[in-house]
A and B are shown apart, each in its own frame.
Chain A
Amino acid sequence: MPRQRSLFDIIGPVMIGPSSSHTAGAARLGALARAIVGGTPRRARVTLHGSFATTGRGHGTDRALAAGLLGMRPDDERLPDALELANASGLEVTFVSGDLGDVHPNTARLELTDAFGRAHLVQGSSLGGGDVVVTLIDDFPVEVTGELPLLVVVHHDQPGVVAAVTARLAADVINIASMQVSRERRGARALMLIETDERVPDEAIAGIAAIDGVVEVRSVPAV
């Protein structure tokens, strides 16, 4: 059972049916993936695993994932038409079934090509009740729930970057709720994920982007 945060986890969420895990959760995963890659992708190749593969179509899992990739919320009444809307808006989305190994039964792997032609990978699972977790961004194992605003900071693995980023947030009195740092290998590309209690203002994001060693910063709102 997902943890109960509020009365509105019981009287809610407001969503497009039929299933909070297969539909609302899938829409949130799509929306998280979209924000993580910095906008609606040009192409998406989605591998559906487990129960997402076997009963996903009947629950609109494919439509919900596409809706999320287009930036719709789980209660957007256009969600049932998301595949057609994706087509019309130039998002080429394809779905296949596949075995993703020892992962949650409701898991999707999204291979995305962004507006600049760059390839990204986002993998995540729908845990029930609309709760989700992104477990993989590119080659980095992560744990992102989309419940709080998130900063995705791609940087070089060099001393001082983490301290400079957190100092910049502290200067704006932004409280860090969680932080994950991982790297490809020593001295190579690294990824910093910072969940914050409040949305990080644009000036602070620009300030972080300007820090020596930071390659790219993306701001992912709560979904």
Chain B
Amino acid sequence: MSYASFAELLAAADDHGSISAAAIALECEETGADEAQVIARLSDALAVMEAAVERGLSEELRSRSDLVGRSGRALAASAPRLTDATFATALSRALAGAEVNACMGRVVAAPTGGASGVLPAVLLTAAERLGAPRERVVAALAAAGAVGGVIAARATLSGAAGGCQAETGAAAAMAAAAAVELAGGTPEQSGHAAAFALQGLLGLVCDPVGGLVEVPCVARNATAVAVALAAIEMALGGLAFPIPVDEVIDAMGHVGRSLPPSLRETALGGLAATPTGRTLASSLASGYRPHSDEGE
């Protein structure tokens, strides 16, 4: 089981030295695996993330519906105008990872397939910028998982249950907390980073055009990365979000339950219900419309 609260995770991090060490210790205790096995599995997950991002940036991917593809590549080829290369690289990696998912490629659902571009984009970019050794990036994944576990325990990680805030919002919180640890921040700062990220995406609805994990999901992976990077800078800059992260997570759960079903993955509201959203849905490549009804 996960830590039931960030407060509990913080106490364990005090005992074990870091959030990632606390996460790995709990995993060993709960599953009977030893530390080397857990680290090997995390390392495998990181390798899948790296390969997905690389594939999205190097291949001419297009989803079967033809709605998304190649935007990570396109952004990587364009020089940033207002921000720096680190920020732009993180955005293009998020798009690339999310596009590999949309195009039926191999990804780590962390926490979900639809939000699988966020964590690789933030961690790989942070690691590159910080010059962090690979084993510290692997450990950071455990920290991200621990924060995701708290969100799953207190709220939800499902778009159908809580909207996009529960998927890309949770992913941004996980990524921000993990990157703060990677950058040498304290466990408390990781908590503030998670809170800053989640508050920034609070209320975000799940409104996929045609019900597919494509529009706006791919773009939302990139915008969630932008929020995560803002959260990381604020937390490492010493800012503290006044509402404790556990309460922010609880608020996310409440907001999710308050969202009408039309804004929770049913493709009946939000961008899916716009005139263009409806037109796109009805013009999907014919093989990707629903199956014909049983003619009996």
Contact = CB atoms under 8 A, between A and B. Distances in A.
Nearest to A105: B160
A57 B31 CA distance: 36
B27 A7 contact: yes
A12 B291 contact: no
A205 B74 CA distance: 56
Nearest to B48: A14
A128 B103 contact: no
A1 B64 contact: no
Contacts of A77: 105-106
B213 interface: yes
Interface string B88-126: 000000000000111111111111111010000000000
Contacts of A129: 109, 112, 157-158
Contacts of A209: none
Contact of B294 (A5, A11, A98): A98
A95 B293 CA distance: 10
Specify the main secondary structure of chain A where it touches its partner: mixed
A6 B42 CA distance: 12
Contacts of A75: 48, 106
B2 interface: yes
B156 A14 contact: no
A123 interface: no
B292 A20 contact: no
B213 A16 contact: no
Contact of A11 (B31, B141, B158, B267): B141
B1 interface: yes
Contacts of A57: 287-291
B110 A10 contact: yes
B110 A11 contact: yes
Interface string A70-107: 00000101011000000000000001111000000000
Interface in A11-31: 11-21, 23-24
A12 B146 CA distance: 13
Interface in B242-292: 267, 284, 287-292
B148 interface: yes
Contact of A16 (B105, B158, B293): B105
Contacts of B134: none
A77 B48 CA distance: 12
B41 A8 contact: yes
Nearest to A51: B211
A55 to B, nearest CB: 4
A60 interface: yes
Contacts of A8: 41, 45, 145
Nearest to A81: B104
A47 B294 contact: yes
B114 A10 contact: no
B102 to A, nearest CB: 5
Nearest to A79: B104
B213 A18 contact: yes
A183 interface: no
Contact of A6 (B30, B144, B210, B211): B30
A66 interface: no
A103 to B, nearest CB: 15
A212 B30 CA distance: 40
A27 to B, nearest CB: 11
B152 A10 contact: yes
Contacts of A13: 108-109
Contact of A58 (B101, B174, B288): B288
Contact of A17 (B145, B213, B267, B293): B213
B104 A23 contact: yes
B211 A15 contact: no
Interface of B: 1-2, 23-24, 26-27, 30-31, 38, 41-42, 44-45, 48, 64-65, 100-114, 116, 141-142, 144-146, 148-149, 152-153, 156-158, 160-161, 174, 210-214, 267, 284, 287-294
Given A1-B158, A59-B212, 8 more contacts: A1-B161, A11-B110, A15-B108, A17-B104, A18-B101, A19-B213, A98-B293, A129-B109
